[in-house]
Structure 1
Amino acid sequence: AVRARGRRSPMMTAILERLSTLSLSGPQLSRLPRLLEDGFPKMPCTVPEGEVPQLFREPYIHAGYRPTGQDWRYYFLSLFQKHNEVVNVWTHLLAALAVLLRFKAFVEGEPLALDAWSLPLLIFVLSSVTYLTCSLLAHLLQSKSELYHYTFYFVDYVGVSTYQYGSALAHFYYSSDQAWYDKFWLFFLPAAAFCGWLSCAGCCYAKYRYRRPYPIMRKMCQVIPAGLAFILDISPVAHRVVVCHLGGCEEDAAWYHTYQILFFLI
Structure 2
Amino acid sequence: KMTAILERISTLSLSGQHLSRLPRLLEDGFPQMPCTVKECEVPQLFREPYIHTGYRPTGQDWRYYFLSLFQKHNEVVNVWTHLLAALAVLLRFKTFVDAEQVPVDAWSLPLLIFVLSSVTYLTCSLLAHLLQSKSELYHYTFYFVDYVGVSIYQYGSALAHFYYSSDQAWYDKFWLFFLPAAAFCGWLSCAGCCYAKYRYRRPYPIMRKMCQVIPAGLAFILDISPVAHRVVLCHLGGCEEDA
| Normalised TM-score (structure 2) | 0.90
CA deviation vs aligned residue, 1:109-156 (integer Å, no higher than 9, x gap): 123333211111111111111110000000000000000000000011
- RMSD of aligned Cα (Å): 4.4
How many angstroms apart in 2 are the aligned matches of 1:226 and 1:13?
Answer: 79
CA deviation vs aligned residue, 1:214-236 (integer Å, no higher than 9, x gap): 11100100010001000100111
How many angstroms apart in 2 are the aligned matches of 1:83 and 1:154?
Answer: 22
Deviation at 1:202, TM superposition (A): 0.2
Deviation at 1:238, TM superposition (A): 1.3
Percent identity over the alignment?
93
Distance 1:234 1:22, change over 3 A: farther
Q: Which residue matches 2:112?
A: 122
For structure 2, the 5+ residue unaligned runs are: none
Deviation at 1:25, TM superposition (A): 5.5
Distance 1:191 1:81, change over 3 A: same
Deviation at 1:18, TM superposition (A): 18
For structure 1, the 5+ residue unaligned runs are: 1-11, 253-266
Deviation at 1:181, TM superposition (A): 1.0
How many angstroms apart in 2 are the aligned matches of 1:16 and 1:123?
Answer: 67
Deviation at 1:185, TM superposition (A): 1.2
How many angstroms apart in 1 are the aligned matches of 2:231 and 2:3?
Answer: 61
Runs of 4+ residues deviating >6 angstroms? 12-24
Matching of residue 235 in structure 1 with residue 217 in structure 2: no
Distance 1:211 1:174, change over 3 A: same
How many angstroms apart in 2 are the aligned matches of 1:173 and 1:201?
Answer: 26
Distance 1:114 1:41, change over 3 A: same
Matching of residue 96 in structure 1 with residue 86 in structure 2: yes
SS of the residue aligned with 1:64?
A: strand
Q: Which residue matches 1:75?
A: 65
How many angstroms apart in 1 are the aligned matches of 2:20 and 2:221?
Answer: 56
Distance 1:119 1:16, change over 3 A: farther
Which of 116-125 and 31-40 deviates more? 31-40
SS of the residue aligned with 1:75?
A: helix
Deviation at 1:82, TM superposition (A): 0.5
Distance 1:50 1:240, change over 3 A: same
Q: Which residue matches 2:179?
A: 189
CA deviation vs aligned residue, 1:203-224 (integer Å, no higher than 9, x gap): 0000010111111100100010
Distance 1:146 1:190, change over 3 A: same
Distance 1:242 1:45, change over 3 A: same
Deviation at 1:30, TM superposition (A): 4.8
How many angstroms apart in 2 are the aligned matches of 1:19 and 1:231?
Answer: 73
How many angstroms apart in 2 are the aligned matches of 1:247 and 1:22?
Answer: 77
How many angstroms apart in 2 are the aligned matches of 1:200 and 1:210?
Answer: 16
How many angstroms apart in 1 are the aligned matches of 2:37 and 2:222?
Answer: 43
Deviation at 1:248, TM superposition (A): 3.7
Distance 1:18 1:90, change over 3 A: farther
How many angstroms apart in 2 are the aligned matches of 1:15 and 1:142?
Answer: 59
Distance 1:173 1:31, change over 3 A: same
Distance 1:26 1:17, change over 3 A: closer
How many angstroms apart in 2 are the aligned matches of 1:16 and 1:146?
Answer: 64
